[in-house]
Structure 1
Amino acid sequence: MASQCRVTELLLRTLRELKPNLTPDCRAAAEEALKQGPGALVTFRVLRKLHSVLQETGSPLYLHELLEGSEIHLPVVELPKRNPELVARLEKIKAKLANEEYKRITRNVSCQTNKHGTLADFGRQVRPLKTVIITVFNFFVTIAAAFACTYIGSQYVFTEAAARVLSSVIVASFVGLAELYVLVRTMEGQLGEL
């Protein structure tokens, strides 16, 4: 932290004039600065004492006027050398973290891709289509079976083929509507679960 500043001509003249009013240790620091001339380093402790002397004597000069043009002296901070073991350990940790980040970013990337996505994505897309195809096929098989059973069973009631076909179509229509009702309720329940 800064504890010194470089003095200017005005500050040196003021130090020369008010040197007798300073404490002995501040007077010694002021004499050292006067020997070195402009650009000498003076501690803040001496400046604080000079400020109090200026206030006591009722001087028209203020401290900020005296410090105008002077610079704060910042000591050079020497950084300690880093421990090589610590540096090596930090590098290992950085590499490990970078590897984990890379794995996290690329975890959903697969080499088995095509223009539509991975093969697993393709399987997930085909499953609902497979279910729909089986349901539609089951619907038509049920209607055809109802028609065939009614046509064969109606030979004992009707002798004419037209009456047998008409009764088979009516029964197949009712079975189709019932099947459609059950299908809609099932699909509605599956959509509600999603």
Structure 2
Amino acid sequence: MVSSFTGLEPFQNRFKKMFECREPPLPQGLREELQALDKPEPIILPFNSARKIQKYLQDAGHPFYLHELLEAGSLHLPSAVTPPRNPELVARLERIKAKLANEEYNRITRNVNTQEINRNGTLADFGRQARSVKALVVTVLNFLVTVVAAFACSYMGSQYLFTEAPARIISAVIGASVVGLAELYVLVRTMEGDVWE
């Protein structure tokens, strides 16, 4: 709160003359206040002292107005004294700031894959693709071996029923077709279950 004037160097000589003046005598309290102002550093004059000086000068018949002080100087604004911060509170605030920064970082980087090295994917992606290709190759080979084995078995087993070769081949093709369709049915059902999972 503003409670004094500062920068009153033009009035310093007048204050010295008032201190040296014997007629009329200065009151003791005012004399002490003026003695405190007689120093080389910047003058800081409290409002109460300025009012006492004004009253004294008006009683003595000297024209003196408070606004002259404001024209020559300025209001003295004391610096605010901030109390020291509680160390427990500071430590707690630092922990909260670190926690919030960590949560923000996790929120920003939640969809970033640290394993991804380039556009084509990582070695793990390549492994998954290799496993799926391997499973596909094994399934196709299994289908082909099953159909060929069914054809061979039907062809060899039909020699007891048919003596001509074309009849044996037709019966072997029919048997291989039935086994192939059954194998395709099982394969489709398995793939459909994998898709839905």
TM-score using structure 2 length: 0.49
The higher radius of gyration belongs to: 2
TM-score using structure 1 length: 0.50
